[in-house]
Amino acid sequence: MAISLEDPKKFRPLVSQAHQVAMNMLRPISRKYDKAEHAYPKELDMLAAMIDGLSESGAGEGAGAAGVRRGEDEPRKDEGGVKNGANLASVMSIAEMCWGDVGLLLSMPRQGLGNSAIASVANDEQAERFAGVWAGMAITEPGTGSDSANIKTTAVLDGDEYVLNGEKIYVTAGDRADHIVVWATLDRSLGRAAIKSFVVPKGTPGMRVDRLEHKLGIKASDTATIIFEDCRVPKENLLGSPEIDTKQGFAGAMATFDNTRPLVAAMAVGCARAALDLTRSLLADAGVTVDHDRPAHLQHAAAAKLLQMEADWEAAHLLMLQAAWMADNRRPNSLEASMAKAKAGRVGSDITLSCVELCGSVGYGEAELLEKWARDSKILDIFEGTQQIQQLIVARRVLGLSSAELK
């Protein structure tokens, strides 16, 4: 099958719109909200309303949070037997938005990581009931970071409600979102298979935001610690099936990551592209030209470094597109999602820091956004599974080993 590396024609207007938003709406307020940590960017309300309108009209496929749905009928056969759908459009538009500002993108109403979890795991009734909510996602706990299967937050069925108890940390949009998707275990003795996700509306008795974190980057985005003390949630708010399937294991909950990891890769791809674009421009102003038709060793050292970074960026970009395209065509993409996240997370940090270095004092100061992009990009190599965890997942998939066999 022939592969076209051009942007799908039907998504070009969406990508162009996202780029214009990044340039004209996000970049101008980027430094403002980097300095005003925890202040809500009110300018995003209008932008979120525009995205809602695009999604409702059908003109903005991929403008909202998408999900990886499993076990459904085969996708309709577009020409060539493949589909370019909402997942591909999402990563393409997110990359453009993060060319503007990662923290502001993470602060977008109704576009939280929990929205992708709902889209991935919810049944049809739940997907309809939770349409339009703004959902953060609460996974990490004190002492339970990369090992999501070791979650200690409990959910105990009591009549028609589950009672949640536990503490969640580093919840993106945890204070601003109106719903939180909480990962909890139904029975710790059953391990990974008993972990389910629950949608908890803000204001539910027993749920409280304990504190907001001060961070290195993405300061426009709030990051919260949330406590659950005898928090009662309707049993209908358990996403997907309440049955504990030891054969399926952790697969139901992990389907969320198959979607969110390519999205985080897209954030890194967009932020790194911003740094490359500005650095090329600043080098040109300094008399350093980059010639793609000449060997790197025959050019200025800064030009050679830029060529190497562009090659790394292209690899991350293509892996991101592959993972999203596979999701659209309902092909298992766990391996590719982790590969995309691992590559993009690492090269995103490498590129942004290298761009700071190449631009010297201009890169290190606040006259340009290069130093901010270097700070923002680091989290993209950490959350949704660290670099080390992604490499471990890739190794397991490639070697055909279980988590018990390769730790």
Q: Which two tokens stand for residue 340?
A: 């995309």
Q: Which residues contact 367 (CB under 8 A, 6 or more apart)?
A: none
384 is catalytic: yes
Q: Which two tokens stand for residue 238?
A: 């358990």
Residues pairing with 375 in the sheet = none
Residues pairing with 164 in the sheet = 155, 231
Catalytic residue among 61, 310, 384, 405: 384
Asked if 390 contacts 375 with a C-beta cutoff of 8 angstroms, the reply is no
**HEC assignment per residue over the chain:** CCCCCCCCHHHHHHHHHHHHHHHHHHHHHHHHHHHCCCCCCCHHHHHHHHHHHHHHHCCCCCCCCCCCCCCCCCCCCCHHHCCCCHHHHHHHHHHHHHHHCHHHHHCCCCCCHHHHHHHHHCCHHHHHHCCCCCEEEECCECCECCCHHHCCCEEEEECCEEEEEEEEEEEECCCCCCEEEEEEECCHHHHHHHEEEEEEECCCCCEEEEEECCCCCCCCCCEEEEEEEEEEEEHHHECCCCCCCCCCCCHHHHHHHHHHHHHHHHHHHHHHHHHHHHHHHHHHHCCCCCCCCCCHHHCCHHHHHHHHHHHHHHHHHHHHHHHHHHHHCCCCCHHHHHHHHHHHHHHHHHHHHHHHHHCHHHHHCCCCCHHHHHHHHHHHHCCCCCHHHHHHHHHHHHHCCCCCCCC
Q: Which two tokens stand for residue 183?
A: 């990962």
Point out the residues that are catalytic. Answer: 384
